[in-house]
Amino acid sequence: MARRSPHRLLGVLAAVTVAFALFSPSSPAAAETSAPARAAAVRPLSTSTPVVFVHGYTGSASNWTTAMSVFRLNGWSSANLFAYEYDSYGDNVTNAQGLAAFVNNVKSRTGAGKVAIVNHSMGGLVSQYYLKVLGGNTSVSHLASLAGANHGTTAAGACLIYTTCRQMYPGSSFIAQISSGDETPGETEYATWYSACDGVILPYTSTRLSGATNNNVLCQTHIGYLADTVVLGQVARFIAS
């Protein structure tokens, strides 16, 4: 093997020294970028925003017991956590109108200018209709959709005798109304959580919203989200950010 000359070795050592200086934590460039990161890490979260939970098909307020516990652990007061209930077998237009009235009542009770909404499954349709068609986005700071049927699910084919299921089937006029144009209107922050292991939202990518932060969960079942403290913690931090 050919021996390297002393001059070449010195050149390599010099290059390594320069690279180390550039990427060392003590370098000025690193200090400039790390200071904002440290500030963000210690910035207190805002947990004063009232949260309205919207259940899915055949669900109820009891679906959110674990979620509310997670939100309390993240700093929310029980007085700012609310669960909206609606008729799973009726009409999602009526359900969305009921959500509008519920949000207004929460704002009146708490004195808040806006609320955050966390929905699951068919609750995504109710929420999207409220925000987009009824103009509810002006009253909502954050919307988090867990396995929301935002673009429908073929699983609704099993219950088409009900209006809500017909509205939830892909290609329905209801879905066309909430998905045409801007899917994330207004200044509301939108985020979704979806998984290939869902099993109920078919296709599972139906939950994704154009313009939202869409989080692909490695593997979670449709009902599993309601007890997934990791995902629910992410939702709480998203709303508090």
* pLDDT attached to residue 204: 98
Neighbours of 189 (CB within 10 A): 17
The tokens for 179 are 């998905």
Confidence of residue 216 (pLDDT cuts 50, 70, 90): very high
Instruction: Give residue-wise pLDDT tens across range 62-98.
Output: 999 999 999 999 999 999 999 999 999 999 999 999 9
Q: What is the pLDDT of residues 13-49, one digit of tens each?
A: 333 333 323 223 333 333 332 333 333 333 445 799 9
Give the integer Cα–Cα distance in Å for 51 and 67: 11
Identify the helix (H) or strand (E) that includes residue 141. Answer: strand 140-146
Distances (CA, A) of 76 to 17, 63, 98, 204: 50, 18, 24, 31
Does 108 score more than 60 pLDDT? Answer: yes
- Beta strand 51-54 with 115-120: parallel, antiparallel or unpaired? parallel
Residues 163-205 have pLDDT tens digits of 999 999 999 999 999 999 999 999 999 999 999 999 999 999 9
Identify the residue whose tokens are 């919207």. 54
CA distances to 89, 112, 117, 238 from 72, rounded to whole Å, are 31, 18, 16, 15
pLDDT (average), residues 95-104: 98
Omega before residue 203 within 30° of 0, cis: yes
Q: The whole model's pTM is what?
A: 0.82
DSSP character string of 74-93:
TT--GGGEEEE---TTS-HH
